[in-house]
Amino acid sequence: MVRVGQFWLIGRAIVVLQLFPAILGWGKEGHYATCKIAEGLLSEDALAAVKGYLPDSAEGDLAAVCSWPDEIRHDFHWRWTGPLHYIDTADFRCNYDYCRDCHDSYGHNDSCVTGAINNYTMQLSSARHAAIGYNLTEALLFLSHFIGDVHQPLHVGFTGDAGGNSVVVHWYHRKTNLHHVWDNMIIESALKMFYSSDLSNMIQSIQKNISDRWSNDISSWANCSSNDTVCPDPYASESISLACKFAYRNATHGTTLGGFAFILEPRVHAWSKEGHIMMCNIAQNLLEHDAQHVIQNLLPDYVDGDLSALCTWPDQIRHWYKYRRTSSLHFIDTPDNACSFDYQRDCHDPHGKKDICVAGAIKNFTTQLLHYKEGSSDRRYNLTEALLFLSHFMGDIHQPMHVGFTSDEGGNTIELHWYRHKSNLHHVWDREIILTAAKELYGQDYDLLLEDIEGNFTDGLWSDDIPSWKECSDLFSCPTKWAVGSINIACKWGYKGVEDGATLGDDYFNSRMPIVMKRLAQGGVRLAMILNNVFSHSHEELAAAT
Ligand SMILES: *[C@@H]1O[C@H](CO)[C@@H](O)[C@H](O)[C@H]1NC(C)=O
Ligand SMILES: *[C@@H]1O[C@H](CO)[C@@H](O)[C@H](O)[C@H]1NC(C)=O
Ligand SMILES: *[C@@H]1O[C@H](CO)[C@@H](O)[C@H](O)[C@H]1NC(C)=O
Ligand SMILES: *[C@@H]1O[C@H](CO)[C@@H](O)[C@H](O)[C@H]1NC(C)=O
Ligand SMILES: *[C@@H]1O[C@H](CO)[C@@H](O)[C@H](O)[C@H]1NC(C)=O
Ligand SMILES: *[C@@H]1O[C@H](CO)[C@@H](O)[C@H](O)[C@H]1NC(C)=O
Ligand SMILES: *[C@@H]1O[C@H](CO)[C@@H](O)[C@H](O)[C@H]1NC(C)=O
Ligand SMILES: *[C@@H]1O[C@H](CO)[C@@H](O)[C@H](O)[C@H]1NC(C)=O
Ligand SMILES: *[C@@H]1O[C@H](CO)[C@@H](O)[C@H](O)[C@H]1NC(C)=O
Ligand SMILES: *[C@@H]1O[C@H](CO)[C@@H](O)[C@H](O)[C@H]1NC(C)=O
């Protein structure tokens, strides 16, 4: 089952988030140059048609809007276009095969950059015959952008490293990843060193080489086998072959830092972070010395002991091949309208495999972390990963709609409007309520929101409830209790009064916002409780599940 909604949380890691726009695709400069060069080679007819389709904002210049598909790909409405920017090929094969490789991580055929190029070319050519209901402005911008992407060697890279995104390297003195080096850094450095930072100088130099140095090659570059209007497959084959020959060859995984480059991973559905980050911040501020010390040891150096910086990692890697089995660990499907959770009945994957659900995962990773105290001899588990999974899943289990009904996938299939924009019920609880609260009540200041939540459990609204929140006699029953809390809220507040096609606004927001805030607080307090127990030298209150 595809569970697209992830869950909440911001704070210190906002700095990390801001890196995203810079790494979305073959950089802005690359796309600009490709489109500028193409514009210079258009026939009169083609130029007129292109100008007709361009949005007003382009002012007649295709190159000006060639990065549009990168700008929108993380918007909720456009997230399906993410896989259209690249192709994941078989690791180390160094070749490309449309049938084998052109699909997204869910196995939808044609969902890759070459499939998209065929698709949008078809749409544009059909315009000659009739207006068939395609948006040709979008088709033109997608086609122009994806032709750029398919020529970036690492957009046709290996699956295992997400086209070099997880290969950490240094580019001169800056830490980055291999994909980004090919998207941006090489072009940026070339611009600085050879073209006095003027992109139009570089484009002119390329154009000059097209007309002299490479002039004999152009006919083969523009050659399309048979009669096809477009033939992107050979371009993809060239790219992966260049990637193997030049990109991967000098930069192998682990040559520098290895490991956690995936916080920069741009291909994932990178939303719903705020809740997780805030919850981990709450927990971290409640850690005792022993736990703080262990966590500092387990986290990679570059986050400097800040757990919240990596609390969304499990969402970022869940579609990677290696971690594909973790996808079912983010939620629980309970029987429709039962409004109850029964561990034996509900905690399994779609094939019936036991313990595969968020409550099972919390038990699993807590048990693994308990081995830390046994000393360094036990290396069966990667405790860094266990810490990140546990911290993340404590967020998920407190998001009421992560313990929802089976047939609507925890509200994911209930489409609705959140104020004026399209959303779904799951996403409302993952993110919309938090974003609206931050914007309307805290002037977008997440630190202020965090302080308010913390103030409400230290000496405000919830201060008397903390002992009951922390109550936990053994590892088996606690996650079950928390999941029961979530499905109860899902029924009483989540689903209640919401039908497919509904528009939710002030009434829903005002009545549900306090619940979301309380769940964040509870999740944070309980995560701290577990970590303090698991890593403390002095007390051992938590019994391990066997
Ligand atoms: C996807 O493509 C593969 C290879 O061409 C084919 O075997 C498979 O049946 C296709 N799947 C669907 C759902 O069309
Ligand atoms: C083709 O384009 C349409 C319209 O943008 C889109 O709905 C569809 O998913 C696209 N298919 C592929 C394979 O790109
Ligand atoms: C076509 O798509 C663009 C970009 O998404 C949008 O601004 C425009 O309104 C659409 N045009 C039509 C006719 O739907
Ligand atoms: C154009 O060709 C010259 C001569 O080979 C080369 O030095 C220059 O780097 C090329 N320019 C670009 C932008 O590739
Ligand atoms: C164009 O492609 C066809 C088929 O791939 C090939 O036979 C032909 O030699 C190519 N022509 C040029 C000029 O490269
Ligand atoms: C190219 O198109 C022509 C006319 O439509 C057709 O007769 C011919 O068989 C096509 N050639 C190939 C290789 O598809
Ligand atoms: C890249 O690798 C090749 C072969 O392994 C080597 O000859 C070359 O010097 C390397 N280049 C750099 C910049 O390290
Ligand atoms: C644990 O997992 C992380 C992230 O996958 C990885 O970077 C690290 O090298 C692993 N540690 C060990 C000891 O295998
Ligand atoms: C428990 O963790 C291991 C990895 O450490 C994983 O392979 C397994 O699927 C997990 N099981 C559950 C129920 O989370
Ligand atoms: C904190 O408590 C106050 C007073 O009850 C309430 O108005 C406010 O919304 C609460 N803040 C959060 C973030 O829950």
Evaluate whether residue 19 is within a structural domain.
yes
226 ligand 7 Cβ < 6 A: no
146 C-alpha vs ligand 6 centroid, how far in Å? 27
Residues with CB under 6 A from ligand 3: 55, 135, 137-138
The answer to whether residue 101 sits within a structural domain is: yes
Domain residue limits at 478: 272-535
Alpha-carbon distances, residue 369 vs 30, 390, 449 (angstroms): 45, 9, 31
In whole angstroms, give the CA distance from residue 374 to residue 387: 16
Ligand 1 centre to CA of 97 (Å) is: 13
Centre of ligand 4 to C-alpha 199, Å, is 14
User: Residues 319, 4: contact at Cβ < 8 Å?
Assistant: no
Q: Which residues are near ligand 2 (CB < 6 Å)?
A: 84, 110-111, 115-116, 119
Burial class (CB in 10 A: 0-12, 13-18, 19+), 245: exposed
Q: What is the pTM of this model?
A: 0.53
Nearest ligand 9 atom, CA 381: 5
Q: Which ligand is nearest to the CA of 454?
A: 10
Q: What is the pLDDT along the chain (546 residues), one digit of tens a residue?
A: 333 333 333 232 322 323 233 333 457 899 999 999 999 999 999 999 999 999 998 999 999 999 999 999 988 899 999 999 999 999 888 999 999 999 998 889 999 999 999 999 999 988 777 667 899 999 999 999 999 999 999 999 999 889 999 888 878 767 788 899 899 988 988 888 888 889 999 999 999 999 998 988 888 898 887 667 889 999 999 999 999 888 887 665 434 322 333 333 332 333 368 999 999 999 999 999 999 999 999 998 878 889 998 998 898 787 676 787 898 999 999 999 999 999 999 999 988 999 999 999 999 999 999 888 776 545 678 999 999 999 999 999 999 999 999 999 999 999 999 999 999 999 999 999 999 999 999 998 899 999 999 999 998 899 999 999 999 988 779 999 999 999 999 999 999 999 999 999 999 999 999 999 999 999 999 999 999 999 987 655 555 443
Pocket test for ligand 4, best of 187, 209, 210, 214 (most atoms within 8 A of CB): 209
User: Is 364 within 8 Å of 387 (Cβ atoms)?
Assistant: no
* Residue 293 located in a structural domain: yes
543 occurs within a structural domain: no
- Among all bound ligands, the one having the nearest atom to the CA of 58 is 3
**Pair 347, 444 in one domain:** yes
Q: 63 with 176, same domain? A: yes
Same domain, 181 and 244: yes
Distance 106 CA to ligand 1 centre (A): 12
CA of 246 to the centre of ligand 7 (A): 9
Ligand 6 atom closest to 227 (CA):
1
What residues are in contact with ligand 6 under a 6 Å CB criterion?
226-227
Determine the Cα–Cα distance for residues 313 and 76; give it in Å rounded to an integer.
19
196 and 288 co-located in one domain: no
User: H-helix or E-strand containing 423?
Assistant: strand 421-424
Q: Are residues 28 and 168 in the same domain?
A: yes
Rounded-to-integer distance, Cα 179 and Cα 161, Å: 9
Amino acid identity, residue 375? G
The atom of ligand 8 lying closest to the CA of 259 is 7
Query: Ligand 3: which of 78, 137, 140, 145 to mutate, most ligand atoms within 8 Å of CB?
Result: 137
Query: Within this chain, do residues 62 and 126 fall inside the same structural domain, yes or no?
Result: yes
Is 278 part of any domain?
A: yes
Distance separating alpha carbons of residues 83 and 85, to the nearest angstrom: 5
The protein residue with its alpha carbon nearest to ligand 8, atom 14, reads 382
Does one domain contain both 13 and 55?
yes
Both 304 and 242 in a single domain?
no
Helices (H) and strands (E) in the chain, counts: 24, 9
Question: 127 alpha carbon to ligand 6 midpoint, in Å?
Answer: 21
Residue with CA nearest ligand 7 atom 10: 250
Q: Which numbered atom of ligand 5 lies nearest the CA of 226?
A: 4
Which ligand does the CA of 114 lie closest to?
2
- Identify whether residues 254 and 305 lie together within a single domain: no
Q: Whose CA is nearest to atom 9 of ligand 4?
A: 205
Token pair of 331 as six digits: 């939620």
541: in domain: no
Pocket test for ligand 2, best of 104, 119, 136 (most atoms within 8 A of CB): 119
Distance (Å, whole) CA 185 – CA 27: 9
From the CB of 246, is ligand 7 less than 6 Å away?
A: no
Which ligand has the nearest atom to the CA of 216?
5
The CA 53 to ligand 3 mean position distance, Å, reads 10
Does ligand 8 come within 6 angstroms of the Cβ of 209?
no
Q: Identify whether residues 211 and 276 lie together within a single domain.
A: no
Write the CATH number for 442.
1.10.575.10
**Count: domains in the chain:** 2
CA atoms within 13 A on the CB side of 400: 25
Q: Is residue 451 within 6 Å of ligand 10 at its C-beta?
A: no
Q: What is the pLDDT of residue 93?
A: 86
Instruction: Using most ligand atoms within 8 A of CB, pick from 354, 364, 393, 394 the residue to mutate for ligand 9.
Output: 364
Residue 495 covered by a domain? yes
Report the alpha-carbon distance of residue 276 to residue 310 in Å, rounded: 9
Nearest atom of ligand 9 to the alpha carbon of 386: 5
On whether both 255 and 322 belong to a single domain, the answer is no
Which residues' Cβ are closer than 6 Å to ligand 1? 99, 109
In this prediction, residue 334 carries a pLDDT of 97
**Which amino acid residue places its CA nearest to atom 9 of ligand 1?**
109
* 346 lies in the same domain as 440: yes
What is the rounded CA–CA span in Å between residue 260 and residue 303?
Answer: 10
250 CA from centroid of ligand 7 (Å): 6
Nearest CA to ligand 8 atom 13: 382
Give the DSSP H or E segment for 422: strand 421-424
Q: Read off the tokens for 8.
A: 């909440």
Shortest-distance atom of ligand 8 to CA 385: 2
Query: Does the residue 469 lie in any domain?
Result: yes
- Per-residue pLDDT at 255: 42
Q: How far is the CA of 191 from the centre of ligand 4 (A)?
A: 13
Atom of ligand 5 nearest to the CA of 219: 13
Ligand nearest to the CA of 69: 3
CB within 8 Å of 419: residues ≥ 6 apart? 436, 503, 504, 505
Q: How far is the CA of 230 from the centre of ligand 5 (A)?
A: 14
Q: State the pLDDT at residue 453.
A: 96
